[in-house]
Amino acid sequence: GESVGLHLPTLSVQEGDNSIINCAYSNSASDYFIWYKQESGKGPQFIIDIRSNMDKRQGQRVTVLLNKTVKHLSLQIAATQPGDSAVYFCAETGPNQAGTALIFGKGTTLSVSS
């Protein structure tokens, strides 16, 4: 079946470094992508989203890049902080999905050491 996956299950960085978390998706019809952050004991928290008519979107310390040619999504976190330590999920939905059903990747655990 179609799914969204992440390249690496874990990523360890030093405080202050930039982090890049990658995600590959398989449904070329998907037109909306979201990155979520999930801390231990909490539900996923919305970070940033991007529609398929864009290739880059910036937020506060975060940037999402979308490469539709190779069906790749990435999340860049600038000046990573210990509070950024969490599991990061990419999710997609598309025109063939009625409603807002999201397909999630497996997640990347980001560990930030100070």
Residues lying near another protein in the complex (CB under 8 A) are found at 31-32, 34, 36, 41-46, 49, 51, 89, 91, 93-95, 97-107
E strand intervals along the chain: 4-6, 10-14, 19-25, 32-38, 45-51, 56-58, 62-67, 72-77, 86-93, 103-104, 108-113
Query: In terms of CB distance, is 14 or 96 closer to another protein?
Result: 96
Least gap, CB of 59 to another protein (angstroms): 13
Query: In terms of CB distance, is 14 or 26 closer to another protein?
Result: 26
Least gap, CB of 111 to another protein (angstroms): 17
Least gap, CB of 71 to another protein (angstroms): 18
Distances (CA, A) of 84 to 5, 10, 104: 20, 13, 20
Least gap, CB of 23 to another protein (angstroms): 13
Residues 6+ apart with CB under 8 A from 27: 2, 4, 92, 94, 96, 103
Query: In terms of CB distance, is 15 or 49 closer to another protein?
Result: 49
**In this structure, are strands 56-58 and 45-51 parallel, antiparallel, or unpaired?**
unpaired
Query: In terms of CB distance, is 82 or 95 closer to another protein?
Result: 95
